[in-house]
Structure 1
Amino acid sequence: MSTRLAIVSSHPTQYYAPWFSYLSRQEQLELRVFYLWDFGVKAHPDPKFSRSVRWDLDLLNGYQHEFVPNRAKNPGTHHFGGLHNPTLAQQLGAWSPQIVLVFGYGWRSLLNLALQWRQSPLILRGDTHLLGRPRPNRVRTLVLRTLFTRFRSFACVGSANRAFYRAHGVPENRLFDVPHCIDNARFAAATLEEAAAWRRAHGFDAVKPLFLFVGKFEQKKRPDLLLQSFKQSALSDAQLGFLGDGEMKPRLLRATSESDGRIKVLPFHNQSEMPAALRAADCVVLPSQGSGETWGLIVNEAMACGTPALVSDHVGCAADLVIPGKTGWQFPAGNRDALTQSLLEANAAIRTRRDELRASAAAHIQAYSYETAGTALRKMLAEVL
């Protein structure tokens, strides 16, 4: 007998759409995804990328889905009111799911669903953590403790996320490990030839270690700190690239203009271009500071390409994915001198152990796959039912 599972998600993403397709092919699982916005499959402005974005992958193939009309005056996931879907409960009810898996709670529609839905059990999948947060606000803590009583179980994406739920009173028997994952196979397929061509196309030396920042050029991700640390390191035998877009781009361009070509701000890449870029890098750097970097799925993508990562200890995936000296390096968030030292250590390791580091990263990420997460989810559903 099949389990009828509804998933409620903000919008189609390159991370989850292939997983939904994978889950839909599993026996004894009938799946339908309810999207609250069409960002990604239609072009919409992304305030943090400072541009309109439409991904060049098919994000709707291989699984049942429907869009719930978004009536927000200013649609988007960058603010609480950006997802306002008055017919969500009605559309869910018409499909009659046995379980509803909700991705997040920080938007109007998802909060309303958590408070009002009574037809079937709710499961929560989020990636919030306590890393880099100020002292907990007692009112916020009380509100979250109350909200979390509305969910039967919690799909924890990693250890920091699990600790967040525990800190808000969720008992252990309601916590299940369903690890954060991406389409490992798509990234692993990037070849050495594609990586070499990418380096040539963007003016990077074919041999010198290449550090790559990938993401939105915004304050929480601290590309400025990476730039300062790289310059402080005086690594004349290494290169640094900034791949993305956002409000800090003009500042980065000005600062890299006198770098003798060792530091480059690269053009925005769409999704189909990312595997070659990540395979070309020797280390992906994510120096985020504060609680905003809930996981850092770019680290999954990099490791699927066999590329280690250097991350701050505020990045949600740090404890799970980044094994110092083996799959990458960690440093205390916001500490320029510590990041400088980590860059020096990483550069030396890449020069002497490049193949070993790549193999370790690629092997470690296999435990964070659609298959692993799917097996864990099916076990969770069986427990809930």
Structure 2
Amino acid sequence: MTQILVIIQNKPTQFDVPLYQRIAQEHPFKLIVYYTQTYSNTVFDENYDPEIGRSPDWDHLKNAKYDRRDLTAAETKNAQLVAKKIIADQPDLVILSGYYPRLHAKLAMILKLKGIPIGLRSDNTIPHSELSGFKGLLKRTLLRYWLRLYDYWHPVGTLAREYLETISGITKPTFYFPYNVDNDWFAKTSSTYRDRRNEIRQTFDIPSNAYVVLGIMKWHPREDPLTLVKAFAQLHQQLPNTFLILVGDGILRSDIEKEIEPFKNAVVLPGYVAYSELSKFYGISDVFVHPAVNEPWGVSVNEALACGLPVITSDGVGSRIDLIQEGQNGFVFPQQDIQALTNCLIKIVQSPELSEEFCQKSLKPWSYQTTISEFCSITTVRN
């Protein structure tokens, strides 16, 4: 008998939808995805991102085909009705992505009372959570019991698992549900662009023999592009044949433009680009940097490694724990430490042993196939 998995999350994401489409095509089990915040009104627009002031251009999702069910605004206010619809699907497991909006928490309680197995997908980590003071104590106390409600935990990575175990004080059957990306697609498309690297670099006035540093991020204090810009300035002083490509946009644009003025001929600002265009920039670059100060995961690290690029991240990026092998596929620096990032950049320029092949192999445990295998493993445990 075919197993039925229901996933409840607020909105589609650039990394989850290709996974859902693959499951629909391969059909290892039946998948149904409910979205709770995709209705459009003055409050919500399906993928509106307040940090960039617009909806991201996830053009690769337009023709995705899987069993997608979008709740209306009225339905999101009626947890009993939504639970009834989910129960009618006869799911073997319902995975809820977080406990916000409140509907997710209400559904967890209702489904639990109805005897439906429930799992929690979580990206919360202790370093990225406010757990100090009276409010922090109250939060820890409430969560200690709330996290025990679920039958299964589905953390996105090691730090998220540590959060669940530390806050709850117990362990539960755990199956990872990471923020993976389509590794094969990134590897294939970036390789195609890499074959045309010199030609594409010419369009940006980048010499074929230059060493190119890449940043793809929101120009927002949380992702801290200015630390990368300032570290590159120091790198460029020591190694003039270096260029910076900084993809993105946001509220820090004027600050960034002012900062790069002395060396603007060595910086390319393509603006915000469509998702399908990202692999072009990975393909023509030599190293990727993610300097965020508060990033529970950071899927751009997955993307860069899938494209064969070594990666430098700050210690504010959660995925570093699972994805970065220091000195083998990248380096980690203390967040907002400009000199430390500069040192990492110099070190990586001088580290030809960080091969494209090893970067891609290091990502093998973090793939859509391993996520599907995790889902299938739940059936084995339950039986």
Is 1:58 matched with 2:57? no
Equivalent position of 1:206 in the other structure: 208
**Superposition TM-score, scaled by structure 2 size:** 0.88
Q: Which secondary structure state, in structure 2, belongs to the residue aligned with residue 257 of structure 1?
A: helix
Equivalent position of 2:245 in the other structure: 241
The structure-2 alpha-carbon separation of the partners of 1:374 and 1:44, relative to structure 1 and needing over 3 Å to count, comes to closer
Provide, for residues 346-378 of structure 1, a one-character-per-residue CA deviation record: whole Å limited to 9, x for no partner.
2222xx34xx42111111112211111111121
Equivalent position of 1:113 in the other structure: 107
The structure-2 alpha-carbon separation of the partners of 1:265 and 1:85, relative to structure 1 and needing over 3 Å to count, comes to farther
Q: How far apart, in 1, do the equivalents of 2:196 and 2:108 lie?
A: 46
Equivalent position of 2:357 in the other structure: 359
The alpha carbon displacement at 1:98 in A equals 2.2
- Tell me the matched-pair count: 368
| Residue of structure 2 aligned with 1:95, choices 79, 89, 94 | 89
Provide, for residues 225-280 of structure 1, a one-character-per-residue CA deviation record: whole Å limited to 9, x for no partner.
11122223323221112101111112112222221411232221101101111122
Give the 5 Å matches for 1:1-385.
1-26=1-26, 29-38=29-38, 45-58=48-61, 61-70=64-73, 87-118=81-112, 119=114, 120-133=116-129, 136=132, 137-169=136-168, 171-190=170-189, 191=192, 192-233=194-235, 234=237, 235-290=239-294, 293-349=295-351, 352-353=352-353, 356-384=354-382
Amino acid in structure 2 at the alignment position of 1:56? D
Amino acid in structure 2 at the alignment position of 1:286? H
Q: How far apart, in 1, do the equivalents of 2:28 and 2:364 lie?
A: 25
**Superposition TM-score, scaled by structure 1 size:** 0.88
Q: Which secondary structure state, in structure 2, belongs to the residue aligned with residue 155 of structure 1?
A: strand
The alpha carbon displacement at 1:143 in A equals 1.7
CA contact (8 A) 1:7 1:33 kept: yes
The structure-2 alpha-carbon separation of the partners of 1:360 and 1:39, relative to structure 1 and needing over 3 Å to count, comes to farther
Q: How far apart, in 1, do the equivalents of 2:241 and 2:309 lie?
A: 19
Q: Which secondary structure state, in structure 1, belongs to the residue aligned with residue 347 of structure 2?
A: helix
The alpha carbon displacement at 1:335 in A equals 1.8
What is the alpha-carbon root mean square deviation over aligned residues?
2.4
Q: Which secondary structure state, in structure 1, belongs to the residue aligned with residue 124 of structure 2?
A: coil
The alpha carbon displacement at 1:69 in A equals 1.4
The structure-2 alpha-carbon separation of the partners of 1:219 and 1:270, relative to structure 1 and needing over 3 Å to count, comes to same
Residues 132-141 or 177-186, more deviating? 132-141
The alpha carbon displacement at 1:197 in A equals 4.2
CA contact (8 A) 1:229 1:336 kept: yes
The alpha carbon displacement at 1:170 in A equals 5.3
Amino acid in structure 2 at the alignment position of 1:269? V
**Stretches of structure 1 lacking an aligned partner (at least 5 in a row):** 73-82
**Stretches of structure 2 lacking an aligned partner (at least 5 in a row):** none
